[in-house]
Structures are given as C-alpha cells and as structure tokens.
C-alpha cells in the first residue's frame, strides 16, 4: 500500500497516535502491530477467520438494532462493511499477529476498527470520525472480545476443517484408484518388518484409502461442536452490558449471516472459560497427520532399494537424491509428509498445554491455540496435495518382484499350516531358513503334497481372503 504521508490523530487509553489516513485500522491495532511482532502468521493469512469476524459483527449489529440499541443507518453501514469484508475486501488491513497477548483483544479491535472506518466511509464521513460510528460503542456493542473472538474463531475453524476434509477426499480417491489398479498383484504382507502372509498390493493401497476415509466422519463430528457459540456472554459469561435477549437474537442472525446451524452455548460461563473444543479438534487433526505419516513410512519402505531393498513399488522420481552418490533418488515427498506430521504433533501439544493454562473465568491462551490448529490444517492440506499429485498418482508396481518375494517367502508356510499341521510347517520353515530354499520347493522335494493341490492352495485368490479348508 502506497502511503501519502498524511495522518489522522486517534486516541486510546494510553494517549494519542498518528495513524496513516490510508489505514482502515486504528490506534489499538497500530499498538498491537508494534507490540506483537512475533511470527509471520498474520490475521490476513487466514481469510476464514476474517469472514467469521465479519459474520459476528454483522449479526451483532442486526441484533442490537432489533433490540433498539443501534440506529438503523449505523446498523446498515456496519452490515454493508461486513458484507464487503466477507466478499474478500480489506483483508490486507487485518494485520495483527495471530500470536498475541490479551486473549484476542488485538484481533477483535482490528476487526472493530476496520469495520468502523469502512462504515464511516459508507455513511459519508472520513475514517477516524468515530462519533458517527465507533469501534467500541457501535461495532462492539453488546460484546466483549471474550465472546466475539471465540465465536469468530469457531466459525473460521469450522470452514478450515471443511477444507481439510475436501483435501482428504481427493487423496482417498487417489489411493483407491491405485488399489483397483494393483488388485491383481500378489505380494507378501509383513508384520514387525518380517514376512507374514500373502495379500495383494491392491489390498494394501485400498487399506490406505480406508483408514483415511475413517477420519472424515471424525473430523465432521468434531467440527460440528464448533457451531456452539457464546455470543452475549460478554466478559465472563454473565452477559453484563448486553440485552437479556441479545444471545438469542444475535445467534439467530448469526445463523442467517453465516449460513451455518449455529446454536447458543447452554452455559455461557463455561463456554467463555473452557477451551476443550480446541483440544478435541486439534486431536482429530493430529490423528490425520499420524495416519498420513504411517502411510508415508510404508511408501518409503515398499519403494526401498532399488536393488537392495523391498522394491515392490516405484515412487515418481522428483529430484536427484544426493550431492555425492550419482544415480540416487530419494523418497522426498513421503519424507516431507513425515515432517509435517512431526510439526502437527508438536502443535497439538501446544494446544493441550495452552488449554490447561486457563484460569478462573477465561483462558487467555486462545490465540496460540487457534494459530497452532490453523497452521496444522494449512500444512496438512499442502502436504496432502503434494503427496497426492507428486507421489501417489504416479506410483507404479514391480509386479514380478512382488511375486518373486512372495513365492520365496517363509510366510507361505502359514497358508499351508491347515493342510500340513503346525509341526510339519515349522520344520519346513526351519529348513527353508537353513538351506535358503523356498517353501514351495521343499514341499515338492519331500513329497508332502502334489503339485496340483499345492498350486491350488497357493493361488493368490485363495490366500488373500478366508477360505473353507478341504
């Protein structure tokens, strides 16, 4: 933004400050910018939160007008300003750091000041002429940071969780497509990094899809709880300085403005002090990260080699893997997903500790909680998209290698156990380990079963699902 050098004088509890005339925010936001230069995570990076603030402020103005506390012209100007912000305008003026002291007051005042100054322009006045529309007296009427801020956070987080769900659906589809593509490829399953029993590569990839699909319902369940808001609680949940009907009326308008089925919290004192909802939403996001990391571990193991590892699948080569070893290509995409998961787990711990740090009627640590969760969601969405487009869709199978490992595996003896008995099967396994011969070969050598029956038992379709023992 190009500044003219002209300023306007604004006043707060601490005195007068000159604010550039181009700024829609005012003195309190200016002080917050100066005080909290903490991270590169600014409010304008999270449009869902800004839109949540706009919904809260518009609904409050509508409620205050209906209850006879706000002139119609001021109400209309505030609502129009909020509509513009929700449409994407003026987001670059939401400049406070997401990590801040003051329990979110800086964020709330940033919204109040931007909305007030835009409303003033709509009314025909200059920015800063607050007697006609004041950030506190009008935009923040019947509210406190302690109800407006968490309510806006809840709405913003609800939409962010929705973005994560949509991202998950895409990678689930990608894994499921690979499951179908690899459905015919027999391979060995492994437990504790040891040969177990046969399965198909398709089953393995379908399992990746299924385990992530399980998380969608959990994400949906958790984010529904965010639709309980504490508007009208004001400072501590007692509703001081708000009309007795404000909670009901504001919540009704909030349903309309947001398009979401929001409800008023049953106990506003509890809703104002308790941050358990953020702990739960953080935890379910962490679950997604852990599952993605496990899948990434599996992709790295299955593609290991190419000559001395498992080498059942090929990951798309994305970049040269070594500054000293020519020809080396590393699984860089799964590796970055692993690292995202580590960050998510750490941020989840931050949320846990911050929630525990609540005292008496308020938890002042909400800013770091919401920043941590939003960062986790952002990292995961980016990581999921990277994993899907730069890795999963390009995976190919080494079909012959899968079959070779299967037929040479000691694990085949498990499929034969019902026919040969545990003791004989154990002896076969021991001899295979000692001689290096395959179980298949040893059975024929020792005349334990004819080839026709052995081949029937060892058909892929007979080893990858329950079967009647004949």
**Lowest-confidence pick of 117-131, 144-158, 312-326, 433-447:** 312-326
Instruction: For residue 451, give Cα distances in angstroms to 218, 422, 445.
Output: 49, 20, 10
Residue 211 phi, psi (nearest 5) = -70, -35
- The whole-angstrom separation of Cα 388 and Cα 168 is 10
Whether residue 363 is predicted with pLDDT greater than 80 in this model: the reply is yes
The pLDDT-based confidence of 454 (bands split at 50, 70, 90) is confident
Residue 467: half-sphere exposure toward Cβ, Cα within 13 Å: 16
Whether residue 63 is predicted with pLDDT greater than 80 in this model: the reply is yes
Which pLDDT does position 401 carry in this prediction? Answer: 94
363-398 as b/e: b if 16+ CB within 10 A: bbbbbbbbbbbbbbbbbbbebbebbbeebbeebebb
Which pLDDT does position 322 carry in this prediction? Answer: 56
Which pLDDT does position 118 carry in this prediction? Answer: 97
Task: Report which of residues 440 and 130 the model is more confident about.
Answer: 130
**Lowest-confidence pick of 298-312, 321-335, 366-380:** 321-335
**CB 191: neighbour CB atoms within 10 A?**
9
DSSP string, 353-371: HHHHT-BTTB-TTHHHHHH
**CB 418: neighbour CB atoms within 10 A?**
13
Residue range 268-290: average pLDDT?
95
- The whole-angstrom separation of Cα 43 and Cα 32 is 12
Whether residue 204 is predicted with pLDDT greater than 80 in this model: the reply is yes
Which pLDDT does position 470 carry in this prediction? Answer: 62
- Residues 67-118: pLDDT tens digits? 999 999 999 999 999 999 999 999 999 999 999 998 999 999 999 999 999 9
For β-strands 186-191 and 194-200, DSSP reports them as antiparallel
- The whole-angstrom separation of Cα 92 and Cα 302 is 46
Which pLDDT does position 326 carry in this prediction? Answer: 47
- The whole-angstrom separation of Cα 254 and Cα 262 is 7
246-262 as b/e: b if 16+ CB within 10 A: bbebbbbbbbebbebeb
The pLDDT-based confidence of 409 (bands split at 50, 70, 90) is confident
Whether residue 323 is predicted with pLDDT greater than 60 in this model: the reply is no
Task: Report which of residues 274 and 412 the model is more confident about.
Answer: 274
- The whole-angstrom separation of Cα 128 and Cα 23 is 10
Active-site amino acid positions: 322
Domains, the chain, ordered by start: 7-141 (1.10.275.10), 148-227+261-400 (1.20.200.10), 410-463 (1.10.40.30)
Residue range 24-47: average pLDDT?
93
Residue range 145-150: average pLDDT?
95
- The whole-angstrom separation of Cα 269 and Cα 233 is 7
Which pLDDT does position 226 carry in this prediction? Answer: 96
CA angle, 253 then 255 then 261, to 5°: 155
Whether residue 462 is predicted with pLDDT greater than 90 in this model: the reply is no
Whether residue 209 is predicted with pLDDT greater than 70 in this model: the reply is yes
């Amino acid at each position: 933004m190009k500044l003219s050098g002209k300023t306007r004088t604004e006043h707060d509890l601490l005195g007068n400050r000159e604010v550039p005339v181009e700024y829609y925010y005012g003195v309190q936001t200016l002080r917050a910018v100066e005080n909290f230069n903490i991270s590169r995570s600014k409010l304008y990076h999270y449009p869902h939160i800004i839109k949540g603030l706009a919904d809260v402020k518009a609904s409050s103005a509508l409620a205050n007008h209906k209850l006879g506390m706000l002139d119609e012209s001021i109400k209309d100007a505030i609502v129009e300003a909020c509509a513009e912000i929700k449409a994407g305008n003026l987001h670059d003026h939401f400049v406070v750091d997401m990590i801040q002291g003051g329990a979110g007051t800086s964020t709330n005042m940033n919204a109040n000041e931007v909305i007030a100054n835009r409303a003033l322009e709509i009314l025909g006045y200059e920015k800063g002429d607050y007697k006609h529309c004041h950030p506190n007296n009008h935009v923040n009427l019947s509210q406190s940071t302690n109800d407006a801020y968490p309510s806006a956070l809840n709405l913003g987080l609800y939409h962010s969780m929705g973005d994560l769900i949509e991202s998950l659906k895409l990678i689930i589809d990608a894994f499921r497509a690979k499951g179908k593509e690899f459905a015919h490829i027999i391979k060995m399953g492994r437990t504790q990094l040891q040969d177990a029993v046969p399965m198909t590569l398709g089953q393995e990839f379908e399992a990746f899809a299924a385990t992530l699909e399980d998380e969608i319902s959990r994400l949906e369940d958790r984010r529904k709880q965010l639709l309980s808001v504490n508007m009208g609680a004001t400072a501590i949940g007692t509703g001081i300085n708000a009309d007795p009907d404000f909670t009901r009326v504001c919540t009704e308008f909030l349903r309309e403005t947001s398009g979401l089925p929001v409800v008023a919290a049953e106990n506003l004192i509890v809703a104002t002090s308790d941050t358990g909802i953020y702990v739960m939403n953080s935890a379910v996001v962490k679950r997604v990260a852990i599952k993605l990391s496990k899948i990434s571990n599996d992709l790295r193991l299955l593609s290991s080699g190419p000559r001395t590892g498992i080498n059942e699948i090929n990951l798309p080569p994305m970049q040269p893997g070594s500054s000293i070893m020519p020809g080396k290509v590393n699984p860089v995409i799964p590796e970055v997903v692993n690292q995202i998961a580590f960050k998510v787990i750490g941020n989840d711990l931050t949320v846990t500790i911050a929630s525990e740090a609540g005292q008496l009627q308020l938890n002042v640590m909400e800013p770091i909680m919401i920043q941590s969760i939003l960062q986790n969601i952002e990292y995961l969405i980016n990581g999921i998209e990277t994993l899907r487009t730069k890795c999963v869709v390009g995976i190919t199978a080494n079909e012959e290698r899968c079959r070779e490992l299967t037929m040479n595996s000691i694990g085949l003896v498990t499929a034969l156990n019902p026919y040969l008995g545990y003791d004989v099967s154990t002896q076969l396994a021991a001899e295979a380990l000692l001689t290096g011969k395959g179980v298949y070969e040893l059975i024929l050598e020792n005349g334990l079963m004819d080839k026709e029956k052995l081949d029937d038992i060892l058909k892929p379709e007979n080893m990858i699902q329950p079967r009647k023992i004949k």
